[in-house]
Amino acid sequence: MENCNIHWEQKSLVNELAQGRDLARQLQIHLNVPSSSYGTRELLVQKIILSYEKALSMLNSSSSASGGEQQQPTGHVAIRMVESPPHSLNESPRSEDSDREFKDHDNKDSSRKRKNLPRWTQQIRVTSGMGLEGPLDDGFSWRKYGQKDILGAKYPRGYYRCTHRNVQSCLATKQVQRSDEDPTIFEITYRGKHTCTQASTGTSTPPSPSPLQPERTERQNNLVDPQQKQQQSQQHTLLNLPEGLRVITEGLDTREELFPSFNSPSPLNNSYVGSFSSPFAGPTTSGTNYFSMSQRDFGVDQNFQSGEIISAPTSATNSPSVGLDIPFGQADQLFPNFSFDGPGFFS
DNA sequence: GCAATTTGACCGGT
DNA sequence: ACCGGTCAAATTGC
């Protein structure tokens, strides 16, 4: 008897999710149609949100008997995508970065300069209580290779590259800069797509959380340094994280599909379970859309405890090497955990 | 002892 | 010349 009930609920849930997906598709179409009005889009967004909210509530009521704190405990992670200035990317053959190592060898024809690599920015606000580990941990293994004081910036900028750069020539890098105004905000600029297969490393990278060490040049001892400790998960134990994830997509008129999974009927785990969180919770971003997603299906890092992620896709270019890539190829990087490999990371 | 981080130097673009 | 990004030797942590 109970099974029937559960089945029914599952069906409803799937239904709801499918509806949300369809709505999202519609929205995508609308985004591509310039004639589409904001109102229409807004409506679609509302519908999507509603749909996800329903789904989430179903999940909450039925399963998740554990605690029921599926919604939004104390922490939130808000992601804000802001379209960044066009940044005319002239594909000048010669470009900035000094990859001596690569350059010296045989870089003549391979114009795969880092300039051509996709690039976007993510702003993360860390709310009290949460270690910075959370938002700063995006599921990838980064290795710090530099730190620089930036002109006009109060805090130094950290430079990170993929740990597997040498072994797998993964050119992904990122920069972490703390906002001087809001020390709770970290601006993380990603560059390049991860070509490495991290999760498979035999040696389980210890999730060794690097202790938060204060930067030397800092003036505030309150805040911790942008230290990334990533851990690759060999097993995507998709724990249902109680955290709520607020995604603020702002000015996302990029025709690019940031969320390819939304419209791709791929049988994979595209099942995004999400719900809309009441607007009150959100910052002032007017005209932005909030998604609150439970992380269960995203395998989102549990470290995301509280904090807001305000992300802004910056100029991105297709990586020449990966012709068939998603335009921005960032969906999987912005939300590395959302894809397949959930950071199994410790507990 | 190894691996990651620190930190000053170096390099290239503007 | 300045500035941002990277390298690599030294240092630190595990």
Distance A52 CA to C6 C1' (A): 44
Residues engaging strand C (CB under 7 angstroms): A 96-101, 114, 145-152, 157, 159, 161, 173, 175, 191, 208, 211
Cβ–Cβ < 8 Å for A131, A304: no
| Boundary of a domain, candidates A167, A191, A215 | A191
pLDDT in tens, A276-295: 333 333 333 333 333 333 33
| Boundary of a domain, candidates A130, A164, A191 | A191
Residue A187 is assigned to a structural domain of this protein:
yes
Residue A150 is assigned to a structural domain of this protein:
yes
Q: Which nucleotides of B are covered by protein (CB under 7 A)?
A: 4-9, 11-14
| pTM of the shown model | 0.49
Q: In the prediction, which pLDDT does A33 show?
A: 58
Band (pLDDT 50/70/90 cuts) for residue A32 is: low
Residue A165 is assigned to a structural domain of this protein:
yes
Residue A134 is assigned to a structural domain of this protein:
yes
Are residue A127 and residue A187 in the same domain, yes or no?
A: yes
Are residue A47 and residue A116 in the same domain, yes or no?
A: no
Band (pLDDT 50/70/90 cuts) for residue A148 is: very high
Number of domains in chain A: 2
Band (pLDDT 50/70/90 cuts) for residue A332 is: very low
Residue A175 is assigned to a structural domain of this protein:
yes
CATH (domain of A139): 2.20.25.80
Per the structure, the residue whose CA is closest to nucleotide C7 at C1' is A145
Residue A160 is assigned to a structural domain of this protein:
yes
Residue A321 is assigned to a structural domain of this protein:
no
Are residue A186 and residue A117 in the same domain, yes or no?
A: yes
Range of the domain at A24: 2-62
Question: Which nucleotide lies closest to A230 by the C1' atom and the CA atom?
Answer: B4
| Boundary of a domain, candidates A168, A191, A214 | A191
